[in-house]
Structure 1
Amino acid sequence: MARTIIISEHGGPEVLTLSNREVGAPGPGEIRIRHAACGLNFIDCYQRSGLYPMQLPTALGMEAAGTIEAVGEGVTHLRPGDRAAYAAQPPGAYCEARVMPAAQVCPLPDAVDFDTAAAMMLKGLTVQYLFHRTVPLKAGDTVLFHAAAGGVGLIACQWAKSEGIKLIATAGSDDKCRRALEHGAAHAINYNTDDFAARVREITEGRGVDVVMDSVGASTFEGSLDSLRPCGMMISFGNASGPVPPFDIAKLAAKGSLQITRPTVFSHIAKHEDCQAMAKHLFEKVTSGAVRVQIDQRFALEDVRAAHEALEARKTTGSTILTL
């Protein structure tokens, strides 16, 4: 048996329930992992609320780290006793132990502790695909990154600096802007007090940025388009302020032949070999010191409701983990 957070209906944090569930043995292509910590992400809130509808009842959570207890037939990259971490479907990481598909579970270097791994897998793999798989970026390119003081954002600030990419950060307070700058952002804009699109034009001397990476959604979408150079790329990868409403695609032509994409990390890690290669790149960034994972909030598993409330109220910075 393992303590597990489940939902039986969509709704607010109050629908999160602590339950004891049987774990069982792994089948072919599966592993059983005992968690040391698990990560908290906005996608968890989207699934809980019903923005991303789920078949109910279901467990929640998309990333965690711990020790492999058993492996099923056909699993060759992991063995019992191995340290491991993952960001993967299906949901179910908010628990002490689980059985899950092995393909996206990654061997964890000894140099990366479990808390750090749980805090960085989904966020770090997201930054990896944004910078290396969605659009080819190179030293000297400019990127506008929204919500840059969050878990994904602080990793992105450091990743960009390590590769000579000029990252313009936005955040919702002066303190959060300061944190983005401390983590490698070239500029930071408080989008609650400044017109960020106008400031981007000032910073880039009217040109606009090469790429916008926007996880905020509805409230920043139009300004993000207005921040791009002609033929620039808009990457919309989240909905923290709500989903982007339908829009006239002809606007992209009128604003300079803009490009737009709506990717997810799970498309990029769907193939075992891609996932393992991306994780290896992430581990190299962390073990080299180029990226430091900032864990600013820790909640016990049984306090998951408070964790969701803090995340949705924009009261968190850096990464948040649930401890076991």
Structure 2
Amino acid sequence: MRAIVIDEPGEPEVMRLKETAAPTPGQGEVSIDIEARGVNFIDIYQRSGAYAVATPFTPGVEGAGTVSAVGAAVDELAVGQRCAWVMHPGSYADRAVVPANRVAPVPDEVTSEQAAATLLQGMTAQYLTHSTYPIQPGDTVLVHAAAGGTGLLIAQLAKLRGGRVIGTVSTRAKEEQARAAGVDHVIRYTEADVADAVADLTAGEGVAAVYDGVGADTFEASLASLRPRGVLALFGQASGPVPPLDPQRLNTAGSVYLTRPSLGHYIAQRSELLQRAADVFELVAAGDLEVRVGGRYPLSEAAQAHTDLAARRTTGKLLLL
């Protein structure tokens, strides 16, 4: 089978498409013939060495396809069943072996492309808006990178929960994408001070929560945009890590809360994984959650997909097909 293999961390060109032996499932595992793979910032972090991973390895933590074989002690999944998974490596390949307890069934109403484009970022948006800070009707929230794959989903879920959404973007084209997803007010951070604009839009009160997957470039504005006792959910670091912080700043900002959540901790139990996945797929199937695919690349062009994502030249989700 074909697989992208990284022998040492580095620039996108270290990803090489090779012929490798097809894996077989062991106890508690399933083999999945992959149809679509999501491209995520964590893939870039691992490829570049920002997140240490033992080499050689095949990147990709999200995929969708069909179960081709099951190992011993697997009774929830069957050969021929459509499925998807997140948070397990090896999706940049024709086939992957995944622990069965990390795999979620995909309903007939959801395509493999939709599943691969939605599951990781969709469950991220779901836990952020339903658990990290459960948005209440009338809440105003700030979503950074509102035209990105996760940002578009956060905005839609926030609106479904009755929230008012302020989103940040970099260009007019991305502003249009954000507004199409239901963002009420768009701030182009290249042209305006985000915290000042949020203050104007909230009559100086600030927002109930900030969903920040950008990190270093946006953190100060995020902190300054919160209302007293607001929540800053720093769920990513696309622009780099945030420097160490004196906790006293949370006091002076208004007794605000700072959390650094991760999807893995919100789907640690299989029951929680299945519930979040089912919630996301149900919304997709009903047409209430739009999945925007910003780019489709053949597996052989994984390096180009990484380059485009890192340069923020894209909107929505990138897929390897």
TM-score (norm 1): 0.97
The Cα offsets for residues 213-256 of structure 1, whole Å up to 9 and x where unpaired, read as 00000010011000000111000011111111112111111111
Structure 2 residue identity aligned to 1:72: G
Contact 2:135 2:162 in 1 (8 A): no
Correspondence 1:36-115 to 2 at 5 A? 36-89=35-88, 91-115=89-113
Q: Among 126, 129, 147, which residue is 1:128 paired with?
A: 126
Q: Aligned residue for 2:197?
A: 199
TM-aligned CA deviation for residue 135 of structure 1: 2.1
Q: Aligned residue for 1:210?
A: 208
Identity of matched residues, % = 45
Distance 1:296 1:216 in 2: 18
Q: Aligned residue for 1:321?
A: 319
Q: Aligned residue for 2:233?
A: 235
Q: Among 236, 254, 257, which residue is 1:256 paired with?
A: 254
Q: Aligned residue for 1:298?
A: 296
Q: Aligned residue for 1:185?
A: 183
The Cα offsets for residues 124-176 of structure 1, whole Å up to 9 and x where unpaired, read as 01001101121222211111000010111111221122221111111111221
TM-aligned CA deviation for residue 284 of structure 1: 1.2
Correspondence 1:276-295 to 2 at 5 A? 276-295=274-293
Contact 1:286 1:292 in 2 (8 A): yes
Could you say what the CA RMSD is over the residues aligned between the two structures, in angstroms? Answer: 1.0
Distance 2:141 2:49 in 1: 31
Q: Aligned residue for 2:17?
A: 18
Q: Provide structure 1 residue ranges, at least 5 long, that are not aligned to the other structure.
A: none
Q: Provide structure 2 residue ranges, at least 5 long, that are not aligned to the other structure.
A: none
Correspondence 1:214-225 to 2 at 5 A? 214-225=212-223
| More off after superposition, 12-21 vs 272-281 | 12-21
Hey, which bits of structure 1, 4+ residues long, moved more than 6 A?
Answer: none
Contact 2:135 2:161 in 1 (8 A): no
Contact 1:23 1:99 in 2 (8 A): no
Number of aligned residues: 321
Distance 2:134 2:117 in 1: 26
Structure 2 residue identity aligned to 1:258: V
Distance 1:6 1:145 in 2: 34
TM-aligned CA deviation for residue 278 of structure 1: 0.5
TM-aligned CA deviation for residue 29 of structure 1: 0.9
| 3-state SS, counterpart of residue 101 of structure 2 | coil
Structure 1 residue identity aligned to 2:60: G
TM-score (norm 2): 0.98
| More off after superposition, 254-263 vs 128-137 | 128-137
| 3-state SS, counterpart of residue 239 of structure 1 | coil
Structure 1 residue identity aligned to 2:236: G
Distance 2:261 2:225 in 1: 20
Distance 1:196 1:174 in 2: 16
